[in-house]
Amino acid sequence: MSSAKDSLTETIKTVVYALLIAGIFRTLFFQPFFIPSSSMKDTLLIGDFLFVNKMSYGYSQWSCPKVVNFLCPISGRILGSEPERGDIVVFEHPTEHRTFVKRLIGMPGDRVQIRDGVIFLNGEEVTQTPDGMFVETDEKQGAAGRRPACTTTTGLGGECAKEKYIETLPGGRQHSILNIGPTSVDNTPVYTVPANNYFFMGDNRDNSADSRLSAAQGGVGYVPEEYIVGKASRVIFSSAGKRLVYFWTWRKDRFFKALQ
């Protein structure tokens, strides 16, 4: 009986130690993240799996997993470094506490405005260069089973197309963006980003809830620095199906793909 108890005790200890190590690793270093929506197409696709680098920007209360968030009584950020314009950043929604991934467009103190779908930063136009069309299959995508938004489509199972551009931010960083058509956020007032806050946008510009709208309007508004979780820089794995075990839906060309 004593031997059985000792064996059970050792098993419990092993499980507890494993959970502690995994929790520490996830809190301090890398957090796994699946892309659930199309807001960052074509940079990130539904079903992409990546690790968020938490060491990039330091740590805050939201560096801890949500279920034990209360164990991170951190005010602001510690060991922090400022993210750079153009980074792909994972952060917590300031009021809904859902995890988002977007591109950093506006730094603290910046003036940001959208005119006819084009960003103006501090009064200067951010260049968009036509780059053909982004074409995908018009079909249900991911676990939610949503069909993509299209400029033109040949119907379910056919081609879904939208305009693609290369956007060049101040400093020369470039990335791909998509345009579906005119929307209510293609023209905005001038936003002045408050101190210690950031302005984010999705690369799929017409299908992204981001800083162009406040949280009350269905967006995210300005994001305080303490809600930043980390930086996304590489896709590790990608699946176009509803389940990872559907190996025939794996996107092999996206394994370990670097992000721009």
Tens of pLDDT along 57-95?
887 777 776 655 666 766 677 777 889 999 999 999 988
Do 256 and 234 contact (CB within 8 A), yes or no?
yes
- Amino acid letter, 133: M
Domain 2-258 has CATH 2.10.109.10: yes
Query: Catalytic: which of 38, 41, 54, 102?
Result: 102
In contact, 178 and 103? CB cutoff 8 Å: no
pLDDT at 19: 41
Would you call the peptide bond into 210 cis, given omega within 30 degrees of 0 as the criterion? Answer: no
Catalytic residue, chosen from 39, 63, 208, 211, is 39
Catalytic-residue membership of 13: no
What are the backbone dihedrals phi and psi of residue 45, each rounded to the nearest 5 degrees, phi first?
A: -110, 155
- Select from 147, 119, 152, 117 the least CA-distant residue to 133: 152
pTM for this predicted structure: 0.85
Q: Give the span between the Cα atoms of 36 and 19, in whole angstroms.
A: 26
- The beta strand positions in the chain, using DSSP E, are 30-34, 48-53, 88-92, 99-106, 111-115, 118-121, 124-125, 127-137, 152-153, 159-168, 174-179, 191-192, 197-201, 223-224, 228-231, 234-238, 257-258
Q: Is 231 in the active site? A: no
The pLDDT of residue 53 is 87
Rg (CA), the chain: 21
Q: What is the largest CA-CA distance in the chain?
A: 77
Burial (Cβ within 10 Å: 0-12, 13-18, ≥19) of residue 138: buried
Coil vs helix vs strand at 206: helix
Positions of the chain with pLDDT under 70: 1-30, 65-71, 73-75
Count the alpha carbons within 13 Å of 236 in the hemisphere toward its beta carbon: 12
